[in-house]
Amino acid sequence: MRMEYVGRWLYNPEGVAEGYLRFEDGVLEEVCLGAAPRESTRSVILPAFVNAHTHVGDSIAYPAPKGTVEEIVGPPDGYKHRVLKASPRDEKVSSMRASIRTMGSTGTAAFIDFREEGVEGVKMVAEALDEGSPRAVVLGRPVGDGVLVNEMDALLKHCQGLGLSAVRDWPLDSLTKMCRITKSQGKLFALHTSEALHENLDRVLALHPDFLVHMTAATDQDLRRCAETDVPVVVCPRSNEFFGIRPDIPRMLRAGLTVALGTDNCMICSPDMLAELQAAYRLSIPKGGLTPAQTVQLATFGGRKVLNAEGKITTEIGVSDDLVAVDVGGADPLLEVVTTARSGDISAVIRGGRLRRP
């Protein structure tokens, strides 16, 4: 029997406490509180990340040129849509697989992907998954805006819901129909909202979305209404920064919102949640700042709350949970995580109670 010890600190929503993980033959047997044995790694143990908004299909279009949101990602003729139409299927699947493997090696347990290209698009994500891949929650999108019931039924058979672009991109009757069909099947319905331009929130909330992405151009009243109606918001700081947008996460939290993080377009940002939470911490400093514990919470518990409807990802550190160990050198492990740690400092990923090395 081979015994291993990993970690010296355990994260919780309030900060960290001394603790470590005990493995027997690579299987997590115990989460221990208190001082770690001398041979244990100098790591902080975090819940594995939930990447709450990705576009892995965009991986084929890396690197993206500079431009506005509309020029780069706007449907139907933005840069990414032109590349998707022109690229061979096998190359798209291969590039998706590389991005998904990056997520797995950098501590992501699950990702929520907005996938264009209809049924074929969501099938490509399934083909890109390996046995050890993070859990994929795929939100598809119909081809074109003339939505047919049989097309929707076929799409929803292969994915966990719909992930749409902004409401202004769709006819109102199509939006209403898509929402009704998706909700009738108990699946997730989410949209991009108020990214670069403010959008009418009445029209958005009338669709009863499970969560919204961006909300960087939202008013204080918009944020409060989302909080009051329990609609979480996923923020993508590095993608926002690419387009010259500065998210105000402290303002969102003050409004009472549940906030999660996502890496957004793979053609713009690597799907590395450690890099994303560090961007959230850095870009929030001029807005009043976040504590290190708050920042880590966005990348862990925030995404889990977005996925509450599915109830399959735990929110407590236990022997069956997905966890990540980040090696640290100083006396303030969480500050190191949100400022100077790099993906190479991730020394262990624990998935399904088994120890894996990146």
Residues 219-257: pLDDT tens digits?
999 999 999 999 999 999 999 999 999 999 999 999 999
Which DSSP helix (H) or strand (E) runs through 114? strand 108-114
The pLDDT confidence band at residue 145, using thresholds 50, 70 and 90, is low
Q: Is the pLDDT of residue 339 over 50?
A: yes
Q: What is the mean pLDDT of residues 190-209?
A: 97
Looking at residue 151, its pLDDT comes to 83
Q: Is the pLDDT of residue 323 over 90?
A: yes
Q: Report d(CA 5, CA 21) in Å as an integer.
A: 6
Looking at residue 313, its pLDDT comes to 45
Residues 6 or more apart in contact with residue 33 via CB below 8 angstroms: 10, 17, 18, 19
Alpha-carbon dihedral angle through residues 136, 358, 305, 117, given to the nearest 10 degrees: -30
Looking at residue 147, its pLDDT comes to 62
Question: In the numeric block, which tokens belong to residue 5?
Answer: 């010890």
SS3 287: helix
Contact by Cβ (8 Å): 190, 215: no
Q: Is the pLDDT of residue 311 over 60?
A: no
Residue type, 192: H
The pLDDT confidence band at residue 12, using thresholds 50, 70 and 90, is confident
Contact by Cβ (8 Å): 220, 258: no
Q: Report d(CA 37, CA 69) in Å as an integer.
A: 51
Cα-flanking dihedrals φ and ψ of residue 232, to 5°?
-65, 160
Contact by Cβ (8 Å): 329, 306: no
Contact by Cβ (8 Å): 44, 252: no
Looking at residue 312, its pLDDT comes to 46
The residue that leads in pLDDT, 43 or 171, is: 43
State the burial class of residue 334 (Cβ atoms within 10 Å of its Cβ: 0-12, 13-18, 19+). Answer: buried
Contact by Cβ (8 Å): 325, 41: yes
Looking at residue 212, its pLDDT comes to 99
Looking at residue 150, its pLDDT comes to 76
The pLDDT confidence band at residue 316, using thresholds 50, 70 and 90, is low
Looking at residue 100, its pLDDT comes to 98
Mean pLDDT taken over the chain: 94
- Lowest average pLDDT, out of 48-62, 132-146, 201-215, goes to 132-146
pTM of the model: 0.96
Give me the residue spans of the domains in the chain.
3-47+315-356, 49-306
- Lowest average pLDDT, out of 233-237, 273-277, 300-304, 305-309, goes to 305-309
- Pick among 3.40.50.720, 1.10.3720.10, 2.30.40.10, 3.40.50.200: CATH of 3-47+315-356: 2.30.40.10
Q: Is the pLDDT of residue 358 over 90?
A: no
Looking at residue 21, its pLDDT comes to 96
Residues 6 or more apart in contact with residue 105 via CB below 8 angstroms: 343, 346, 349, 358
- The string of pLDDT tens digits covering residues 58-104 is 999 999 999 999 999 999 899 999 999 999 999 999 999 999 999 99
Percent of the chain with pLDDT over 90: 86
Rg over alpha carbons for the chain, rounded to the nearest Å, is 20
Place of tokens 């969560």: 211
Which DSSP helix (H) or strand (E) runs through 109? strand 108-114
Contact by Cβ (8 Å): 87, 118: no
Looking at residue 110, its pLDDT comes to 96
Looking at residue 288, its pLDDT comes to 96
The pLDDT confidence band at residue 292, using thresholds 50, 70 and 90, is very high
Please give the class, per CATH, of domain 49-306.
alpha beta
Q: Is the pLDDT of residue 200 over 80?
A: yes
Whether 49-306 and 3-47+315-356 are alike in CATH topology: the answer is: no
